[in-house]
A and B are shown apart, each in its own frame.
Chain A
Amino acid sequence: MSDAHSHHDHPPHLAHHFETPEQQMESGKLGMWVFLATEILMFGGLFCAYAVYRANNPDVFLFAHRALDTQWGAINTAVLLASSFTMAWGVRAAQLGQRTLLVVLLSLTLLGGFGFMAIKTIEYAAKYDKKLWVGGLNAFYQSGGQLKDEAAAAKAADYVEHHGDPSADDHGGAHGAAASAHAAGGAHGETSGGSAGHAEADTQEAGEAEASGEITLVNVVPTQIVPPVAPASGLVADVIENPQPNLVGAQSFVTGVGAIQASHEGSHYPRFSELDPLEEGRTHIFFQIYFMMTGLHGIHVLIGMGLITWILFKSAAGAFSPEYYTPVDLVGLYWHLVDLIWIFLFPLLYLIH
């Protein structure tokens, strides 16, 4: 810098309305944090949608999340964490005035962003191929209680049921194989016994209701259920051992719905055909939530990549120094927030059970 500036009463990067560079930087950071808080609140809406739908339709989430590739999700988590690390290191390089290192680290961070988006593209393309896209492009989409295309739904259900964990088990070795074998065994036992018992109970109850001539609500509790292999939760055992006799009205619905949900907990993944009609109608909503959450996150990754490109050029041009590196710091904060949100998205979407 020229000497003219040192005669001036403030350094060139200090705006006139700030007393000191420290105050300026603190104000910038404070502003960034307030912005990040609004970002968290925006994502909060989607997290809330997720929570409400999952609370009401646990089986849908248990069934549908298997469509997602745990392996790609885990790799993407690692990619984003690594780029977060290079970003944090980049801020350090900026503080120490290591210009070349800063350029290298920002480039690596940007590369991480590209890697993340590339993997996301692979995942999205696979979902599109299997008709698991949003809205009407989702095979499970229903209007008026009817599937748009039953054949497509069956194909998609088959894909979801046989996809997922086994493919993600490559690194799990014997343990992983054992776990997936257990899951498959559980599913088998339940379908051969469970669905038959379900149907029987249904018709029996309906017959009773007809015979007595009064309008009772059909009890959908599969009370005759054959215990699945090693029922893990106490609820399942309760339902089997203490079948509720002839509940009427809303009571039967309450326990009925709860029992069906409980019967799938712990032991196996429900198949599409095992979901109750209401849940079948809501299956596509899982994919809506998945695409909206990862989509909004993806947009943030793209914006972050744009900002990193900007400070990459600026740092290559020597705009930053140990006295002035606020933009690097603030873009870093933004990038870490993107990472932070993914840290929660990954287990919520990919690792449901």
Chain B
Amino acid sequence: MSHETTHHEMHDDHSSAGHSEGHSGSHVVPLSLLFGVFVLLMLLTLVTVAVTKLDFGYQMNLVVAMAIALVKAVFVGLYFMHLRWDAPLNGFILFASLLFVTLFITISLVDTGQYASTQEAAAIRSATP
């Protein structure tokens, strides 16, 4: 099963420090780093569950939960998905899609905020005798 040896070398367990140049696709993430990120993600999951027991107010709890989720997402993206060592274009595509989702949701929220009160008023008017 030994393949013909090409110019890119077999990466060793501990050789991952200095070879992110050139062929970014073949970067080998050290196992200790992967495991560290995994432990961190698990801890953040515990934190995000524990933090709902605290009352920062309805909006603030959402902000805190989303902040933790964002940190988790960044770690998954950077290390599990290799974005830290990948071609920047891949990260840019992810960023662009998130940007447009954010725009989509923000504009929708601004829009619904403009007419929600009249809509609810109409509904309450019809519901009260």
**Residues of A participating in the B interface, judged by any CB pair closer than 8 Å:** 1, 5-6, 11, 21-22, 25-26, 29-30, 33-34, 36-38, 40-41, 43-45, 47-48, 51-52, 55-56, 58, 62, 70, 74, 77-78, 81-82, 84-85, 87-89, 91-92, 95-97, 99, 145, 172, 175-176, 179, 217-218, 220, 232-233, 250, 253-254, 256-257, 265-266, 276-278, 318, 321-323, 329, 332-333, 336-337, 339-340, 343-344, 346-348, 351-353
A147 CB, nearest partner CB in chain B, Å: 13
B31 within 8 A of A: yes
Inter-chain contacts of A22 with B (CB < 8 A): 8, 23, 25-26
**Residues of B participating in the A interface, judged by any CB pair closer than 8 Å:** 1, 3-4, 6, 8, 10-11, 13, 23-26, 28-29, 31, 34-35, 37-38, 41-42, 45, 48-50, 52-53, 55, 57-58, 61-62, 65-66, 68-69, 72-73, 76-77, 79-82, 86-87, 89-90, 93-94, 96-98, 100-101, 104-105, 108-109, 112-113, 116-118, 120-121, 123-128
Contact B80 A176 (CB under 8 A): no
Interchain CB contact (< 8 A) of B118 among A11, A250, A265: A250
Contact A218 B128 (CB under 8 A): yes
Inter-chain contacts of A172 with B (CB < 8 A): 50, 53
- In the assembled complex, the Cα of A45 lies from the Cα of B101 at a distance in Å of 8
Answer whether A58 and B58 are a contact pair too, CB < 8 Å, given A87-B80, A343-B76. Answer: yes
Measured CB to CB, the nearest residue on chain B to A182 is B55
Interface of A is mostly: helix
Interface of B is mostly: helix
Interchain CB contact (< 8 A) of A95 among B28, B62, B77: B28
Given contact pairs A48-B104, A85-B41, A343-B76, a sample of 15 additional A-B residue pairs in the complex whose CB atoms are under 8 Å apart? A6-B4, A36-B94, A52-B108, A85-B35, A85-B80, A96-B13, A232-B55, A250-B118, A253-B124, A321-B1, A329-B82, A339-B76, A340-B77, A348-B65, A351-B65
